[in-house]
Amino acid sequence: MVDIVSFDKVSKSYDGRAYVVRDLDLSIAQGEFLTLLGPSGSGKTTTLMMLAGFEVPTSGEIYLDGKPLSRRPPHERDIGMVFQNYALFPHLSVAENLAFPLEVRHRPRAEIRQRVEAALEMVRLPQVGARKPAQLSGGQQQRVALARALVFEPRLVLMDEPLGALDKQLRDHMQYEIRALHDRLGVTVVYVTHDQSEALTMSNRIAVFAGGRVRQLAAPDVLYETPSDLFVATFVGESNVFAGTVAARDDTVARVALADGTAMAATAMDAGAAGAAAAVVVRPEKLLLGPLAETCENRFTGQVADVVYHGDHLRVRLAAFGRDDIIGRMPTGGPALPAIGASLAFGFDRAAARAYDPAHGAG
């Protein structure tokens, strides 16, 4: 894979005191869909704005196709951008919005017309060209914004939380549509979101941002299955976190004792040596319940605190180890619904549990 963009030790500070982005090294491969994921204030949007040219790095350099970008103004970067609130031009019709990037590039009129039509076709809105943006629904406006960012065939498209203003159903639908467009056009996409499920659905790779740094850069499955620290583990996907102390550890296995004396074995990640604090993380779907727990390496018993029916699965909340927020999942259609207050066995394998250093948990 060829890198189209690379960040080289890029830092950004707005006030000269605190870093918003710190020592960022990041390479974006030609044709990939890279998502910058993180909570607000983690530096992901600033990173995108530096790439677009609306912010200037305080130090470091960004390269596009191997050439430094710092001195190139936004309009000479040839990067398409989709904004959070679409940023369509309200005084121009949809067709005029799409023609704008081609007009400022002085393309011939016939070519502009033909490409605008093709772009509207591409986002499946062939009949709205004459309308003003305000006459379109939110989802339609979003598609027009997408078409406008793609119509001049930039090699790189930036999207800043483009689906944030849409309702859930439309958002899910647009996720697939954007992904399909990406697959079809082969354009490189850098996508910013704080929604981890959106990131997992759409991306080739995800860069998890926290505190101005990239905590982990990996494919969605790798990120979900083997988060590299406690922050990533808790930010991406749902997790049970058991806080305790390392009783013993070798290269691969850490034995962790909880405050109430319960011991559990987990895959050692960045957890410290014996005596150090540790957090064991288990995904709810890896926490097995009832008879399924019998074969697990770590086996416990708890009381059912709550059962919520989710259609395809049951979400069971358990009380154990002096707390009542342990979440497990159970397929529906099983023998019987667990009764609230009843005892229920639960457990997980060592491979499904990871022990982390809790110091790396905060954003």
- List contacts with other proteins (CB under 8 A): 52-54, 73-75, 77-81, 83-85, 87-91, 100-101, 104-105, 132, 148-149, 152, 158
Whole-angstrom Cα distance, residue 359 to residue 223?
A: 19
Least Å distance, CB 82 to other proteins, is: 9
Which of 101/220 has CB closer to other proteins?
101
Least Å distance, CB 158 to other proteins, is: 8
Q: Is 177 helix (H, G, I), strand (E, B) or coil?
A: helix
Show Cβ contacts of residue 83 under 8 Å, excluding neighbours closer than 6 positions: 145, 160, 162
Which of 91/168 has CB closer to other proteins?
91
Which of 75/173 has CB closer to other proteins?
75
Least Å distance, CB 105 to other proteins, is: 6
Name the β-bridge partners of 191: 35, 159
Which of 96/172 has CB closer to other proteins?
96
Least Å distance, CB 80 to other proteins, is: 7
Which of 19/83 has CB closer to other proteins?
83
Least Å distance, CB 340 to other proteins, is: 49
Measured CA to CA in angstroms, residue 141 lies from 49, 137, 166, 194 at distances of 22, 6, 10, 21
Which of 86/321 has CB closer to other proteins?
86
Least Å distance, CB 131 to other proteins, is: 11
Amino acid at 246: V
Q: How many residues does the chain have?
A: 363
- Strands 156-160 and 79-82 turn out to be parallel
Question: Strand runs (DSSP E) across the chain, as ranges?
Answer: 3-12, 21-29, 33-37, 59-64, 67-68, 79-82, 156-160, 188-193, 205-210, 213-218, 240-249, 253-258, 263-268, 277-282, 288-289, 298-309, 313-320, 323-331, 343-348, 353-356
Which of 123/149 has CB closer to other proteins?
149
Least Å distance, CB 181 to other proteins, is: 18
Which spans in the chain are helix H? Answer: 44-52, 94-103, 109-122, 138-150, 168-185, 196-202, 220-225, 230-235
Residue 311, CA atoms < 13 Å, CB-side half-sphere? 0
